Structure 1
C-alpha cells in the first residue's frame, strides 16, 4: 500500500487510479463531483477514518483525535450546512500527521486552512460553525462507521485518492491489483502520448477505423477489449 500512496500525486492521478480499478474489477466509490480541493494543486491519499458528523463538532474532533498519521478523515454530514472544520481542527490534523480531510459539506477559516498546507477537500465554505446552529440542526455524530458521501458508500479502512479531478475510494484489499494495473496503464498511456507528440493521430494509434468496422459487423463489440488487444490504453 505504501507504493501506491507514495506514487499518487507524482506518478499516478485519480483518472489513472479509476481506470486501473475498472480493469482490476475492483470495488470503487466516487462521491459527489462537487467535492474538490480547497487548494487547487493539493492531492490526498490514505486509509479512511470515517465520521457521520450530524453537525456534532465533538464527533469531528474525536475522529481527528483517533486518526493515525497518514490517515484521511472523511466527514459525512446528514443534516444542515455549517463550516464543519476550521483552523483549530485543521491545525490538530496537521500536527498529528494526517494525510488530509475530506468533508462532504462546508468548511470555514479558509485563509488559515490554506496557510496550513493540509490537503482539505470539501463542497464549499460557510462562516457559521456547528456549535452556533439551532438545536434542531445539531445531532449526535457517529464514529468509525459506514457513511454515505454523496451517492457513495464509504467504509472505514477503505483507501481514498483525491486531486483536481475529484475523489475516489477503493477497497484496501484491491490496492495491490489496482497498483499493478496503474503501472501497466501508465506505460501504455505514455507510449500513446509519445507517439502523439511525434505526429501520429489518436485515431490511428487506437485503430479506431478498424474498430468501427468491427462494430458495424458486431454491434456488441467492446472498445475496452479492442484496446487491450492492441496493447493500448486511454
Structure 2
C-alpha cells in the first residue's frame, strides 16, 4: 500500500487564477494557444500555427505518398538501398566527408521532406 506520509493527497488551497491562465500553455519554451493546431502520431507531437496547418498537411500527404511508393517498390523487389542509390552515396561520401545523405537525397530527387 502506498503512503503519502505527511503530504495531503491533493491541493490544500485554491489560489486565484490569472485571467490568461487558460488561454495558453507552455511546452518547454514554446507557448501554445487555441490559435494552434496539434498533430501527433507514434513518432511525436507537432504544434503548428493554424495559419500554416494546410501547408503542413499538404507536406504530410506528399511524404505519405512517397513512403507508400517506396514500400510498393520494395514489395516489387527493389530495395530501399537501391532506390536511394546508397552505394553511390557511400562512394561520394568517401571522396567528400562533408557530403551528407540528405544532400544526396536532394541530388537524386529522393528527399521526402522537401
TM-score by shorter chain over 0.5: yes
Partner of 1:69: none
Q: Does 1:208 align with 2:86?
A: yes
Q: 1:184 to 1:229 in 2, by over 3 A?
A: farther
Higher relative CO (Cα under 8 Å, sequence separation at least 6) belongs to 1
Cα distance in 1, alignment partners of residues 106 and 66 from structure 2: 10
Q: Kindly indicate whether the alpha-carbon contact (under 8 Å) linking 1:188 and 1:231 is maintained by their aligned counterparts in 2.
A: no
Q: Does 1:178 align with 2:56?
A: yes
Cα distance in 2, alignment partners of residues 162 and 184 from structure 1: 17
Q: 1:159 to 1:195 in 2, by over 3 A?
A: same
Q: Does 1:155 align with 2:32?
A: yes
The one of 172, 188, 196 equivalent to 2:66 is 188
Q: 1:230 to 1:183 in 2, by over 3 A?
A: farther
Cα distance in 2, alignment partners of residues 155 and 216 from structure 1: 44
Q: CA RMSD in A?
A: 2.4
TM-score (norm 1): 0.37
- Structure 1: which 5+ residue stretches go unaligned? 1-127
Equivalent positions of 1:26-175 (< 5 A) are: 132-135=10-13, 139=15, 140=17, 142-145=21-24, 147-149=25-27, 151=28, 153-156=30-33, 157-175=35-53
Say which one has the larger Rg: 2
